Amino acid sequence: MEAAVHVPDRIRVLIADDHRLFGEALESILATDDRLEVVGHAGDGAEAVQLALSLDPDLILMDISMPVMDGFQATQQIRRQRRHACILMLTGSDSRTDLEHAREAGAAGYVTKNRIAAELIDAILEVVAP
């Protein structure tokens, strides 16, 4: 008999982005889906690591370009300490190099900011509930 995959009733999301208004816009998008709940906001990579470890969210939306520590470094640190952490990278760039760095850092997926409104919720559901 195959083991059941645990899918939470509500997916707890941490938003890590240094642009407060963009983070609030992300939260507004996520609020349109009852399956998602924003549990925190980080304004830089170091704060993202701290909140990821203390809140243990189901998913982290991680901006690549942030002060103190970039999203790649933060992702690596989180994944080192929480192997199960599910991180979806957000960026304004569609650079192949950034995509490769995101994968190397341990991100489960990658969404460009110009496609967020159309793809974000589907991308979250895809990486959290395989």
> Structural domain boundaries of the chain?
14-128
pLDDT band at residue 7 using 50, 70 and 90 as cut-offs: low
Residues 97-111, mean pLDDT to the nearest whole number: 90
Tokens at 127, concatenated: 């990486």
CB 64, CB 88: distance < 8 Å: no
Over 70: is that where the pLDDT of 99 sits?
yes
CATH topology of domain 14-128: Rossmann fold (3.40.50)
| Closest to 107 measured CA to CA, from 52, 55, 68, 42 | 52
**What is the number of other CB atoms lying within 10 angstroms of the CB of residue 101?**
18
